[in-house]
């Protein structure tokens, strides 16, 4: 019999209070570490409707989840997405502490005001370079000016911004210090992330992309005074204060130093697959349960899934493991 306690507690005593949901696998970029250039996206019938996504979110909230992040793909390209954002935003301050969004920034010029009005106060922006040529190469389809315009708009309306940059060996490792200075001037926090071995990315080789953040931090320490701070957010980053800018810098290290011991989160795909760990393939099919058994069946399925949450992930990058540790792309699971 499933133990229907109020809180979602995994087998290792960790309380799960943070849900990340990919609302679409589609994206208007094709970043080289995330997906191949010629992607095949899911048919609409396979996706949870916006109404179903809302039911899932509110069910998790009734079970103790207090923070929700909407991701993708690019979440803001999903048709009608503001319906979901507005309805969840109405819950902020009631059962929901925070509703946040991870985005590539391409839609912010036209949507920043709507997001703020809906109750969103923080955005994570995926941005790996400030060099226009490099940006086009990394994203394949993106335009840097469009993203920067969106960032300026988001800043103007009062949205707090954190820049997420994936460290790519031989690509942007020489400008991370410049990005830190830029973030300091703009009032943005920044997090640097190790590349994650998820999905087939075509001809690119992840081993060639991989740059351990222990090396990145050592290099940055030659230019900045980095002071460890105890602050932890809902995510896996470990933070330092950059004395020269006064800004906060995070490091997410799934490979060189995993962050599993304090994991408080689960992720659901746009098709209703609940992954208890980003780096494992085990998942629970919530879509079928929701459509066949309704909300009560959904609760029971979530409890059973949390009982299977593993202690940690199995990410590895080496010459024997190839390009991926798990088959699904990051755009399917959500960041």
In angstroms, the CA 316 to CA 314 distance is 6
Which neighbouring-strand residues pair with 124?
A: 102, 162
Residue with tokens 């390209």: 77
Instruction: Enumerate the domain spans of the chain.
Output: 18-333
In angstroms, the CA 195 to CA 189 distance is 19
Residue with tokens 């949450």: 309
- In this prediction, residue 49 carries a pLDDT of 97
The DSSP result for 148-198, as a single string, is HHHHHHHHHHT-EEEEEEEE-TTTTTTTHHHHHHHHHHHT-EEEEEE---B
- In this prediction, residue 40 carries a pLDDT of 78
Long-range contacts of 6-11 (CB under 8 A, 24+ apart): 6/63, 6/64, 7/63, 7/64, 8/63, 8/64, 8/65, 8/302, 8/303, 8/306, 9/306, 10/276, 10/306, 10/307, 10/309, 11/307, 11/308, 11/309
What is the full per-residue pLDDT of the chain (335 aa) written as tens digits? 334 446 899 999 999 999 999 999 999 888 887 777 777 788 888 999 999 999 999 999 999 999 999 999 999 999 999 999 999 999 999 989 999 999 999 999 999 999 999 999 999 999 999 999 999 998 998 999 999 999 999 999 999 999 999 998 888 999 999 999 999 999 999 999 988 654 444 444 555 668 888 899 999 999 999 999 987 665 677 899 999 999 999 998 865 445 567 788 999 999 999 999 877 788 999 999 999 999 989 999 999 999 999 877 554 444 444 444 445 455 556 55
Count of residues making up the chain = 335
- In this prediction, residue 149 carries a pLDDT of 98
- In this prediction, residue 252 carries a pLDDT of 87
pTM score: 0.86
- What class has domain 18-333? alpha beta
């Amino acid at each position: 019999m499933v133990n229907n306690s109020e809180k979602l507690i995994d087998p290792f005593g960790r309380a799960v209070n943070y849900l990340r949901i990919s609302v679409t696998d589609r994206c208007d970029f094709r970043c080289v570490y995330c997906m191949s250039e010629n992607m095949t996206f899911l048919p609409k019938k396979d996706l949870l409707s916006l109404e179903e996504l809302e039911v899932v979110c509110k069910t998790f909230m009734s079970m103790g989840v207090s923070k929700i992040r909407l991701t993708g793909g690019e979440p803001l390209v999903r048709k009608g997405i503001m319906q979901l954002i507005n309805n969840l935003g109405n819950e902020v301050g009631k059962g929901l502490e925070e509703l946040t969004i991870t985005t590539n920034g391409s839609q912010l010029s036209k949507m920043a005001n709507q997001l703020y009005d809906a109750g969103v106060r923080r955005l994570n922006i995926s941005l790996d370079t400030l060099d226009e040529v490099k940006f086009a190469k990394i994203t394949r389809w993106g335009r840097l000016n469009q993203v920067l315009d969106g960032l300026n708009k988001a800043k103007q309306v009062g949205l707090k911004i954190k820049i997420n940059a994936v460290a790519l060996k031989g690509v942007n490792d020489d400008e991370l210090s410049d990005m830190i200075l830029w973030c300091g001037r703009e009032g943005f926090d920044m997090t640097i992330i190790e590349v994650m071995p998820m999905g087939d990315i075509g001809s690119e080789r992840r081993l060639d992309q991989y740059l351990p953040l222990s090396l990145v931090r050592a290099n940055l320490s030659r230019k900045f005074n980095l002071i460890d701070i105890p602050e932890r957010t809902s995510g896996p980053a470990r933070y330092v204060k950059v004395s020269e800018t006064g800004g906060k810098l995070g490091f997410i290290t799934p490979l060189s130093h995993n962050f599993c011991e304090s994991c408080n989160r689960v992720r659901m795909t746009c098709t209703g697959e609940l992954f208890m760990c980003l780096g494992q393939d085990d998942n629970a099919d919530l879509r079928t349960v929701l459509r066949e058994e309704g909300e009560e069946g959904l609760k029971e399925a979530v409890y059973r899934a949390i009982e299977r949450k593993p202690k940690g992930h199995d990410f590895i990058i080496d010459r024997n493991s190839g390009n991926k540790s798990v088959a699904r792309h990051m755009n399917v699971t959500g960041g």
